[in-house]
């Protein structure tokens, strides 16, 4: 089931990359072969030490392109004008402290063919910021507050943002369906929200009945070895308690690292802990039995070998250099990682009430955790073809009823 869904996504991604003019050799550097996670040796003494078995060569791509089927759903101007779906984008950890937005090549496009709307908190209500107005497809970006806090502080705020949006209410009344896309920390936050709406923990006026599905994009669903390390006794990368203490003493440094307010500093320790395995697994045991079984759930990963990172001084890519440093924490545990999260932790937790056909893993692309969402995170340019990637994801998740 998993590898069949991954093959469909692979074909859609191939189609989009070919349409953008990428050569077979370039395509081979952007994708991995479809796989079933259960068939991989991910952890333990007998784990895989390399990724050659998932790699494509130029000749492999040439053969695939010769027999590539036509997509069942075309992502073109007609699609954008007729599609009655609202993509609800839930960004990740510390997102409101960053200069660039998740999916910013979609959000900040002056020529966007579809509506792009950002929801901001406004007291107990919602303020709407329209980036682009268009027919058909809608993209709604949730700029939720306290994004480096533990999930119990965030999930109710997500619900308030959604319930308080006049545009969202109007679109649902017009027959639009919602599809949640959670990036990184946004993935488990979305799952907790959906479970709380379904279980009656949060009051719901219109969100869940209008929701079609969920896509976790490099989601920190099961926990992060990097987060475990940052709050551990002997951290390899950074001691989070010392970082926060230094930011409190030196506000200029706090602003530089996204800890520019007392609230951000107060939230950080609990927030990083909430990214780790202990808290994520505990939260999953609570919310997984309450996930609504009528929805379709998709997960998508990224896997990047250490050799792929661009970190030499003349390449001047701080993003790759920083992510490579982070990847060194997880790589000795498993090569199946995106620099911040390992592949098994991208997957949906066990939820017996979900039909197997409603839980699909779409495989992995060849980039790091930031590459699927940002052209630039801090400093550097990631040339992963995100627009083709997003279109292939839409072709895959929206082509099923």
Give the pLDDT means over successive 10-residue stretches in the chain (401 positions): 81 96 97 95 96 97 95 81 93 81 66 85 92 88 91 95 96 97 97 98 96 98 95 86 86 80 83 93 97 97 94 76 93 97 97 94 96 82 91 91 60
Domain boundaries, the chain: 1-222+295-401
Let me know how long the chain is. Answer: 401
Whole-number Å distance between alpha carbons of 398 and 68: 19
CA 245 from chain center: how many Å?
30
State the DSSP H helix or E strand holding residue 211, giving kind and residue range, or none if neither.
Answer: strand 211-217
CB 53 within 8 A of CB 145: no
CB 369 within 8 A of CB 362: no
Beta strand segments in 50-196, E: 85-90, 115-122, 125-132, 138-142, 177-183
Q: What integer pLDDT is reported at residue 314 of this predicted model?
A: 66
**230 DSSP assignment:** H
**52 DSSP assignment:** G
Whole-number Å distance between alpha carbons of 113 and 284: 37
Close Cβ partners of 400 (under 8 Å, ≥ 6 residues apart): 296
Q: What integer pLDDT is reported at residue 1 of this predicted model?
A: 44
**pTM for the structure as a whole:** 0.94
């Amino acid at each position: 089931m998993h590898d069949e869904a991954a093959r469909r996504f692979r074909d859609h991604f191939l189609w989009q990359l070919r349409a953008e003019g990428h050569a077979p050799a370039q395509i081979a550097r952007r994708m991995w072969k479809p796989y079933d996670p259960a068939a991989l040796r991910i952890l333990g003494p007998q784990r895989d030490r390399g990724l050659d078995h998932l790699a494509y060569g130029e000749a492999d791509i040439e053969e695939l392109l010769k027999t590539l089927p036509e997509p069942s759903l075309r992502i073109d101007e007609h699609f954008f004008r007729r599609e009655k779906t609202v993509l609800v984008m839930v960004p990740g950890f510390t997102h409101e402290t960053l200069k660039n937005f998740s999916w910013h090549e979609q959000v900040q496009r002056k020529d966007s063919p579809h509506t792009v709307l950002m929801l901001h908190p406004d007291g107990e209500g919602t303020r709407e910021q329209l980036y682009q107005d268009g027919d058909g497809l809608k993209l709604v970006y949730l700029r939720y507050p306290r994004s480096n806090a533990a999930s119990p502080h965030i999930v109710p705020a997500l619900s308030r943002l959604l319930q308080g949006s006049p545009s969202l209410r109007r679109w649902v009344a017009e027959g639009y369906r919602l599809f949640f896309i959670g990036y990184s920390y946004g993935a488990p936050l979305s799952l907790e929200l959906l479970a709380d709406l379904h279980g009656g923990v949060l009051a719901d006026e219109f969100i869940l009945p209008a929701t079609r599905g969920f896509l976790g994009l490099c989601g920190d669903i099961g926990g992060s070895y990097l987060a475990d390390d940052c709050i551990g006794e002997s951290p390899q990368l950074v001691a989070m308690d010392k970082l926060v203490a230094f930011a409190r003493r030196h506000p200029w440094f706090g602003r530089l690292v996204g800890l520019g307010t007392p609230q951000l500093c107060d939230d950080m320790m609990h927030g990083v802990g909430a990214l780790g395995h202990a808290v994520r697994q505990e939260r999953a045991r609570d919310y997984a039995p309450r996930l609504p079984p009528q929805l379709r759930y998709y997960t998508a990963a990224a896997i990047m070998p250490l050799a792929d990172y661009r970190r030499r001084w003349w390449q001047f890519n701080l993003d790759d250099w920083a992510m490579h440093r982070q990847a060194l924490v997880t790589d000795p545990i498993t090569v199946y990682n995106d620099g911040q999260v390992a592949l098994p932790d991208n997957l949906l937790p066990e939820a017996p009430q979900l039909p197997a056909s409603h839980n699909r893993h779409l495989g992995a692309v060849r980039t790091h955790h930031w590459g699927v969402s940002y052209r630039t995170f801090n400093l550097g340019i990631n040339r992963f073809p995100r627009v083709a990637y997003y279109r292939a994801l839409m072709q895959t998740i929206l082509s099923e009823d």
